Structure 1
Amino acid sequence: MSNSSMSSLHLLLVYTSLVIPSSCYSQRPSSPSDHVAMFIFGDSLFDAGNNNYLKSAIGRADFWPYGETFFNHPSGRFSDGRIIPDFIAEYLNLPLIPPYLQPGNHRYLAGVNFASAGAGALAETHKGFVIDLKTQLSYFRKVKQQLREERGDTETTTFLSKAIYLFSIGSNDYVERFSTNFSAFHSSSKKDYVGMVVGNLTAVVKEIYKNGGRRFGFLNVEPMGCSPYARAALQNSTCGCVDELTVLAKLHNRALTKALEALMGQLKGFKYSNFDFHASLSERINNPSKYGISPSRLLLDHALKSFPMILIIG
């Protein structure tokens, strides 16, 4: 089993109690009232092709080796095959969730994918080259309005309350700021800057809650200081990890955990699962052979899936 498949399997097990309905479905969804849909927000880990439709995208997964192991062609996903939401969709007997910007995609009975490679929780992260989280939220509002017009208020409310809202966001806010002269990053303490990132994320979560969302799934940020991009571009060396990014990742993940626990006490009916992607990926980086992965393959996979901007800088 590949690294991607193993990580996806672990994530499925974590999400089981949150996302699996009381009965299984043998048919593809036909109505918002009879199934669980997925709305997907985030960055390259979850992007199913939105960046392919952006005029000035920071990166597109429209060339080999993207897609080579499953689709047999580049699918817009920053992976050699499927991404985590694809495995969860399959487990829920849903079709692959399409990107919001895909032409002709105007039906949302299985949900929709808003994620954009390079995006962050902060609007300033790669501004003009990605779909930032706030814009992803605005697209969700448009989808809700269309559902209301087609299905009415009652059915749409039920549909959105049963849906799953997946998030993978935050890494780009740190990596991109670390490599530039962004004043808010360098003038703020690490704790304050992390607070801005997590605060923007939780603000979007609260807004989705107001719009009917109740069940959420999150990935915390990976060990971004150990990524090929960080090692090669930020410290001009492939040896060792970038310590400051390692510290930021740990601060972010602690802050996210506390923020989600706080939301549990603030929002009635709010349920969530927070997958420790940092620990999962660290384990595979440190012990690749244990999972049947050669070190060189792991390096390529991590580069392709986590940091599409490395393909831009060569």
Structure 2
Amino acid sequence: MDSHNRLFSLLSLFLLFLLLSGYNIGHLVLQAEARSLQNPTKLFVFGDSYADTGNIGRDGSKSWKTPYGVTFPGKPAGRFSDGRVLTDYIAKYLGVRSPVPYKFRKSMPEYLKYGMNFAYGGTGVFNTSSPSPNMTLQIDFLQDLINHKVYSSYDLSNSVALVSVAGNDYSFYLATNNGSTQGLASFISSVVNQTIKNVVRIQGLGVKKIAVSGLQPLGCLPETTASSSFQECNDTFNTFVTLHNTLLTQALSKLNQTTNGTPSIVVLDLYDSFMSVLNHPTTHNIQNELKPCCVGVSSEYSCGSVDDNNVKKYSVCDDPKSAFFWDLVHPTQAGWHAIYNQLRATTALQQLQY
């Protein structure tokens, strides 16, 4: 009891000293509150395999098969990489735990406080060949959780949303049009317009800070550069990517003009981040910039494939940390880390702070 009295006396003397010295205690409290609100408390993720951390089903998905996850967490865990992906690095920057996949919301309720990941590999803003839900349905999932009081308006107002669009809409378009790019420019406008509708809807749910990924250089993905033995990017594909990114940036800039102060929506420039690493790989300790680390032994197989006798039909490079691409589409953990370092050098991530 005496120790409590002594502590109370010391605190009283300290406060008296502050008052006599003219210090504004209210200002001190406001500073403390400002520091506590500096970082968002939750991250909500929508999109595709660049952001998926385990939503897509185990049956038939290579992300749940060896050698995926070999670097982190040491076994297949639903990420389309040997380790961490974009979501993990954005969460790291924001100072929150990488959010639980929507699929595991009931089995891991203790992690709901960090937000939720609704992204599914293979999806787009429209329906693709993937049976997984497109982005509209993913936003429906969050709406349902709000309706059921899982997340409150306060939760949403102190959160950040990550919207990942990595090109599955375009892959599906080309596949259904026999590889023809005729009409692709018009379709790009449709994809961008639907992305904007999705962002506006997420805003309407109460999320005040939204990061939207620009499109990466599709012409530099190994599935495209394979035709040149992984030596050259396809400039034609990258020209269409530039159109997508230009339209997206312009549309989001108009949205930001409707808000006061700090922009509420930022574009993560994956194109420049990818190209910066690919053009200067050794700066990021990358030795193999275009050749994937994990490849099928022939064109009929892919990373993670096995035959009927469970014999693997793929090969993995000796050091995934030296490769930028993991498979024909996705970066390695080392690749994502290099991209993240490039993004940190811009103002985009800084604008996600509250």
Report the residue type matching 1:38 in the other structure: L
- Amino acid paired to 2:244: H
Partner of 1:295: helix, strand, or coil?
A: coil
1-side partners of 2:287 and 2:94: how far apart?
31
- Specify whether residues 97 and 256 from structure 1 end up closer, same or farther in structure 2 by C-alpha distance, changes over 3 A only: same
Give the CA deviation at 1:70: 2.8
Whether contact under 8 Å (1:198, 1:256) holds in the other structure is: yes
**For 1:165, what is the secondary structure of its paired residue?**
strand
Q: Which one of the candidate residues 272, 279, 293 is aligned to 1:279?
A: 272
For residue 213 of structure 2, what is the aligned residue in structure 1? 219
Alpha-carbon displacement from aligned partner over 1:154-213 (angstroms, at most 9, x marks no partner): xx1121111100011141112232233279x8563x332111101111111111111112
Aligned to 1:179: 175
Q: CA deviation at 1:303?
A: 4.2
User: Equivalent of 1:122, from 116, 120, 126?
Assistant: 126
- Please report how far the alpha carbon of residue 250 of structure 1 lies from its aligned counterpart in structure 2 after TM superposition: 0.5
Distance in 2 (CA, whole Å) between partners of 1:91 and 1:276 is 16
Are 1:194 and 2:198 an aligned pair?
Answer: no
Deviations 1:228-260 (A, max 9, x none): 11233xx58644333332111111110110011
Q: Aligned partners of 1:50 and 1:199: how far apart in 2?
A: 26
**Pairwise CA distance, 1:291:** 1.2
SS at structure 1 position matched to 2:100:
coil
Partners of 2:215 and 2:270 within 8 A in 1: yes
1:269-311: CA deviations, max 9, x gaps? 8602212111111122222122111116863355437726xxx
Aligned to 1:12: none
> Match for residue 244 of structure 2?
252
1:266 aligned onto 2:258: yes
- Bigger Rg over Cα: 2
Q: Does 1:52 align with 2:57?
A: yes
Report the equivalent of 1:99.
101
Q: CA deviation at 1:220?
A: 0.7
Consecutive unaligned residues of structure 1, counting only runs of 5 or more, are 1-20, 26-33, 309-314
Deviations 1:69-120 (A, max 9, x none): 2311112111222222223323444223111012524463211001111111
**Higher RCO (C-alpha under 8 Å, 6+ residues apart):** 1
TM-score of the superposed pair, with normalisation by structure 2: 0.67
Cα separation, partners in 2 of 1:89 and 1:213, compared to 1, 3 Å? same
Query: Residues 247, 35 of structure 1: CA spacing in aligned structure 2 closer, same or farther, 3 A cutoff?
Result: closer
Aligned residues: 265
For residues 156 and 103 of structure 2, the distance between their equivalents in structure 1, rounded to whole angstroms, comes to 20
Residue of structure 2 in register with 1:39 after alignment: 44
Whether 2:26 is the aligned partner of 1:23: answer no
Which secondary structure does the structure 2 equivalent of 1:118 belong to?
Answer: coil
Deviations along 1:49-77, whole A, 9 cap, x unmatched?
A: 11135x5x6x4311233222231111211
In 2, the alpha carbon distance for the partners of 1:230 and 1:274 equals 25
Task: Work out whether residues 122 and 130 of structure 2, in 8 Å CA contact, stay in contact via their aligned partners in 1.
Answer: no
User: Given the alignment, which residue of 287, 291, 298 partners 1:294?
Assistant: 287
Alpha carbons of structure 1 residues 203 and 302: separation in structure 2 relative to 1, 3 Å: farther
Q: Which residue of 2 aligns with 1:204?
A: 198
Q: Normalised by the size of structure 1, how large is the TM-score?
A: 0.74
C-alpha distance in structure 2 between counterparts of 1:164 and 1:105, whole Å: 21
Amino acid at match of 2:242: K
Is the contact between residue 278 and residue 289 of structure 2 (CA under 8 Å) also seen in structure 1? no
Partner of 1:113: 117
Letter in 2 for 1:259: A
For the aligned residues, what is the CA RMSD? 2.9
Identity, % of aligned positions: 27
**Does structure 2 conserve the Cα–Cα contact (< 8 Å) formed by 1:66 and 1:78?**
yes
3-state SS of paired residue (1:266) = coil
